[in-house]
């Protein structure tokens, strides 16, 4: 595909913004409580429609991108996010903020089906490009709280959302002037014999694959939810040492804040995992890599339940490296298990499964920590990883004799 740099650049910009928006709202929750005179619980509830929209609208936007084109979908996404951001900045009532955030969620989720769809069709080194795409999202999660915190400190939460709107608007305007040729992508009805990508994969095999994707999304979300609190509980000495080394101000000098900073540092390791995962996804058979990553995650999940302080941080860092490194491998496999003309739809389906079913992690972590312990959460997570490994082994049997690689022409 021509303009390969743009093929990668705009999807990664959209993915960065998606996770930036995802983390910006909880990062601004305390200022919103002061502005609206509401409790923290009630303020956080305002973001529920946005988070629901992140999941449920991914599939319809995937269908749209497959029927029209990915470039148009991304442009709509950028302008829609800008509109939602400006509406949020202009809102002064809880209802206005809630529905403005919902607008952001409705359009922001386009990045997954359209962004990965565009990359999977147009990037020569698909695995590496999908690795960069994943990195952009992780960077958004890491820098989001710091940037919106600075903007809120300088001018308030409304200006923070207005700034996000300007960033989205500039991306949309820039993409209007970029032409991306998607004419080679098969669209509309075609004969089954022309489906090169899905040839040989029975529906049962495809369903099994997406079942594993769903379980993986749940495991990923469990760690996202549990890790900050677990570090605060079990790595308190190291968190306090970090606080002392950084000489944080009195307001921020709490174990909670230090644990949050420690979590961000651990997720930096995930960036390197995503880059490495993308590179090896272009060189090796994808099913074997998928199994390899989960086979390494399995023992790490189990030992996390019993570690503390330095050993906990070390194990969590290695865990996150592989847990995020698996993303470009899995995203490459989604492209392989989805026919070319429905690829964006396939990524939209995966987003619903990961963000929708993955939302259950909040309730699972809460139930296990209340009835057993927070550490026990990782034992449950390890059990799920064991189930994933068993299902991937079954997938090997169903696709035996068939290598699945990025560089095989589809």
Which DSSP string corresponds to 385-405?
A: HHHHHHHHHHHHHHTTT----
- Indicate the average pLDDT of the chain: 82
Helix axes 343-351, 58-67, angle to 10 degrees: 170
Q: Cα separation of 286 and 267, whole Å?
A: 24
Angle of CA points 166, 170, 173, to nearest 5°: 135
pLDDT-based confidence at residue 252 (cuts at 50, 70, 90): very low
Residue environment code for 266-279, b if the CB has 16+ CB neighbours within 10 A, otherwise e:
bbebbbebbbbbbe
Record the pTM: 0.78
Which is nearest to 225 in space by CA: 74, 125, 126, 358?
358
Per-residue model confidence (pLDDT) at position 399: 86
What tokens does 251 get?
């307001």
CA 245 vs. chain centroid, Å, equals: 31
Per-residue model confidence (pLDDT) at position 127: 75
What tokens does 283 get?
């060189």
Residue 367 has pLDDT above 50, yes or no: yes
> What percent of the chain is predicted at pLDDT more than 90?
32
Per-residue model confidence as pLDDT tens digits over 32-80: 888 888 877 788 778 888 888 888 888 898 888 888 888 899 999 999 9
Architecture per CATH, domain 195-398, reads as Up-down Bundle (1.20)
Architecture per CATH, domain 4-176, reads as Up-down Bundle (1.20)
Asked if the domains 4-176 and 195-398 are classified in one and the same CATH topology, the answer is: yes
Task: Identify the three-state secondary structure at position 247.
Answer: coil
Judge whether 219 and 381 are in contact, CB under 8 Å: yes
Residue 247 has pLDDT above 70, yes or no: no
- For 319-364, what is the HEC assignment? HHHHHHHHHHHHHHHHHHCCCHHHHHHHHHHHHHHHHHHHHHHHHH
Domain assignments of the chain as residue spans, ordered by start? 4-176, 195-398
pLDDT-based confidence at residue 184 (cuts at 50, 70, 90): low
Q: Cα separation of 93 and 114, whole Å?
A: 33
Q: Which residues contact 257 (CB under 8 A, 6 or more apart)?
A: 243, 248
Judge whether 29 and 43 are in contact, CB under 8 Å: yes
């Amino acid at each position: 595909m021509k303009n390969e740099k743009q093929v990668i650049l705009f999807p990664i910009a959209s993915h960065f913004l998606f996770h930036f928006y995802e983390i910006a709202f909880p990062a601004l929750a305390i200022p919103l409580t002061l502005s609206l005179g509401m409790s923290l619980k009630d303020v956080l509830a305002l973001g529920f429609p946005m988070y629901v929209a992140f999941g449920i609208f991914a599939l319809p936007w995937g269908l749209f991108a497959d029927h029209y084109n990915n470039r148009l979908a991304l442009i709509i996404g950028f302008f829609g996010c800008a509109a939602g951001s400006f509406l949020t900045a202009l809102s002064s009532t809880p209802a206005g903020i809630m529905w403005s955030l919902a607008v952001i969620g409705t359009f922001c989720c386009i990045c997954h089906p359209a962004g990965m769809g565009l990359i999977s069709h147009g990037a020569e080194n698909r695995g590496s490009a999908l690795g960069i795409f994943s990195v952009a999202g992780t960077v958004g999660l890491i820098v989001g709280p710091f940037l919106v915190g600075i903007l809120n400190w300088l001018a308030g939460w409304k200006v923070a959302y207005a700034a996000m709107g300007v960033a989205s608007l500039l991306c949309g305007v820039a993409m209007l002037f970029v032409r991306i040729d998607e004419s080679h992508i098969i669209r509309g009805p075609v004969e089954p014999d022309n489906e090169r990508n899905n040839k040989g994969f029975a529906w049962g095999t495809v369903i099994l694959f997406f079942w594993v994707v769903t379980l993986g999304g749940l495991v990923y979300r469990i760690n996202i939810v549990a890790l900050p609190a677990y570090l605060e509980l079990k790595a308190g000495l190291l968190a306090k040492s970090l606080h002392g080394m950084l000489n944080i101000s009195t307001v921020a000098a709490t174990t909670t804040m230090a644990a949050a900073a420690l979590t961000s540092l651990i997720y930096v390791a995930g960036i390197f995992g995503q880059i490495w995962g993308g590179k090896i996804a272009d060189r090796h058979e994808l099913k074997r890599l998928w199994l390899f990553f989960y086979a390494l995650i399995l023992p790490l999940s189990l030992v996390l339940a019993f570690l503390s302080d330095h050993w906990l941080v070390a194990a969590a860092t290695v865990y996150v490296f592989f847990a995020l490194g698996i993303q470009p491998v899995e995203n490459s496999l989604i492209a392989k298990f989805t026919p070319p003309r429905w690829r964006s739809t396939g990524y939209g389906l995966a987003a619903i499964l990961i963000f929708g079913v993955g939302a259950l992690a909040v309730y699972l972590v809460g139930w296990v920590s209340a009835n057993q312990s927070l550490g026990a959460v990782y034992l449950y997570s390890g059990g799920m990883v064991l189930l994933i490994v068993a299902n991937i082994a079954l997938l090997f049997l169903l696709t035996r004799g068939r290598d699945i690689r990025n560089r095989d022409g589809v």
